[in-house]
Amino acid sequence: MSVLLNAESKVVVVGATGRFGRQTLEDMRAAGTNVVAGVAYKASSDVDPTLPLFSSVSGAVAQTGANAAIVFVPASRAVDPLLETLESGVKLVVYPGEGLPILDAITVRRAALANGVVYVGANTPGLITPGVAKLGFMPTDCYTPGPVGVISRSGSLSYEAAAALTTAGIGQSTAIGIGGDPIRGLTAGEAIELFHSDDATQTVVYLGEIGGDAEYEIADYAARPDAKPVVAHIVGRTAPKGKQMGHAAALVGSHRDTWDAKVEALEAAGVVVARSMRELPEDVGRALRGHE
């Protein structure tokens, strides 16, 4: 059973009456997620009338026993709802919003750490335990249950990789989109430690890109004698120096930020780096066989 999102997860949707909140709520339910409550910041007649709606996150948690939450509030005014959610007693929070101001992102991450909450975001599709539940908006049909944990800085790349693995008959334990912002609620290093403690995960796939230090955190883990096998795929090989590529954190400012430097560090730590998505399932299959 996944240590992150599992059959015991009870989810509250904060901002459940907004357009995106309503759509994602129904999609999550269709994937098996146990959505037990919503928090409404505005009235709506489009939400399932059987879903309990509350005016505060703490009220929803107290009445329903919710232990996980996803927050749908625009980034410009998300800091207060996020802090309220992180202080409500839930242990897992996802914030998909893009463009959370840097100071707000720092404040929210500090609150998550202070309250012992696994906080995934911002700028993330969320996370999914295939066949059990999802807390986000990733396409469910790309995923299938299995022993491979997935960590990705890119939402679309994680869907592509999961679909490739699924097509090859390789399932996933849980897939986490840690997001592409410079300040993350859950870092790559913290995510892989969660998978290290997860009995359902035998091998970890890391999907990274240029810029930032996330890939070096993965290398630090892989170099440990007790590490689980790690297979990586890194994008941005041809990105020019000083050019931001897509995500806010995908920026080559020095050699350390480049594709070459990151691949060198990962391979030196024992990570198998797939040079293409076509190679990824083959490399993961070999890693799984070596783990047996």
Interatomic CA distance for residues 277 and 260, integer angstroms: 18
255 is catalytic: no
For 80-101, what is each residue's pLDDT tens digit? 999 999 999 999 999 999 889 9
Grouping H, G, I as helix, E, B as strand and the rest as coil, residue 198 is coil
Q: Let me know if the fold of 11-121 is the same as that of 138-291.
A: yes
Tell whether the model's pLDDT for residue 238 goes beyond 60.
yes
Residue 167 above 80 pLDDT? yes
- Comparing CA positions, the residue from 102, 119, 112 lying closest to residue 249 is 102
Extract the tokens encoding 11: 């989810």
Domain locations in the chain as residue ranges = 11-121, 138-291
9: region left, alpha or beta (phi > 0 left; psi from -120 to 50 alpha): beta
Burial bucket for residue 114 (CB in 10 Å: 0-12, 13-18, 19+): exposed
How far apart CA 57 and CA 79 sit, in angstroms, is 14
Reduce the DSSP state of residue 36 to 3 states and report it: strand
The domain made up of 11-121 is a member of CATH 3.40.50.720 = yes
Query: Yes or no: is domain 138-291 CATH 3.40.50.261?
Result: yes
Residue 97: how many CB atoms within 10 A of its CB?
Answer: 22
Pick the catalytic residue from 233, 247, 255, 291. 247
Radius of gyration, alpha carbons of the chain: 19
Q: Is the Cβ–Cβ distance between 105 and 183 less than 8 Å?
A: yes
Range scoring the smallest mean pLDDT among 165-179, 215-229, 230-244: 230-244
pLDDT tens profile 8-65: 999 999 999 988 898 999 999 999 999 999 999 776 666 778 899 999 999 999 999 9
Q: What is the DSSP string of 245-278?
A: -SSTT-B--SGGGSHHHHHHHHHHTT-EE-SSTT
- Hey, is 28 helix, strand or coil? helix
